[in-house]
Amino acid sequence: MSRKTKNIIQFLALSVCWITAQTESSCTDKAETGYEIEQKSHMLGNVKVRVSPSAIQVTDLGKNIIYTSRAPSWILQVVNPVAGTYYECKLLDFGGGSMNRSVALFTGRMLTDVPFDTKPTKESDGLLRFTSSAEYTKHQIALKKNVKSSNGLPKVVNAWVSPSVTVPPQAITLISRLYGISETKGMPVRVRFFDFDNAQKVFLSTTSLVKKPFTDNDFAKRLPTYQRVPNVSSVYRSKEQDDAVGDMLQGMDTPLFRNQH
């Protein structure tokens, strides 16, 4: 066999290996049917959710913070692409963002302790409505007697899920902890509650829900240059945010503000 023939055979063999590798690589990123959902949460504001059987991603559009968790480990990454930082932990160890808890301290409307009745009501639009249990209302009535102001205190909570939107349980865990609601049996698309003045309050609403295919590349990854921070509070910080807080504190240190307080 001549040297030229050997070179041709080697070239063809390498070409086959390259094509095979490319094919296998593309097969590992097969598209999965999932959902892109735009919602407005009382705790986060406007968010965009991407969810498939293998991944969940929630983007806080106001703060530009991205929460992503993937199968099989379902490790949660909280990424601040502006600051170039990220926080990482097990999904079940994530207690929700500190900013979200701060909102709850001021509003008193975190619904993580609401037990829902197991049997839902099917609505005319096809959604399933889960209502808080009678025991919850009884507890709230007792709580109301012991607080000076019950303004906005929930008495009855309703959560709607769509039976046609199937998501992994890990997605519900993340959504629950970010939105400040109890875990529901399905993807929550609407949450409302009645307070003791019988006023209905919107806690969660959905503005868009689209079924579409996703690959792993559709879920944001942290860049190798990003710096890992020790806690979830730190990942919210950026120079712009620090400057804004500094300006706010400087504005508070004025004679007018001090006289008013």
Closest CA to 115 of 98, 132, 99, 101: 132
Contact 36, 49 (CB under 8 A): yes
User: What Å distances lie between residue 85 and 55, 105, 112, 234, CA to CA?
Assistant: 21, 26, 28, 8
Domain boundaries, the chain: 45-241
CATH code for the part of the protein at 45-241: 2.50.20
Q: What is the pLDDT along the chain (261 residues), one digit of tens a residue?
A: 665 555 445 444 444 443 343 333 333 478 999 999 999 999 889 999 999 999 999 999 999 999 999 999 999 999 999 999 999 999 999 987 544 544 554 455 678 889 999 999 999 999 999 999 999 999 999 988 887 766 678 999 999 999 999 999 999 999 999 999 999 999 999 999 999 889 999 999 999 999 999 999 999 888 999 999 999 889 987 665 555 445 544 554 555 444 444
Structure tokens at 148: 């000076």
pTM, entire model: 0.78
Answer for the pair 163, 122: CB distance below 8 angstroms, yes or no.
no
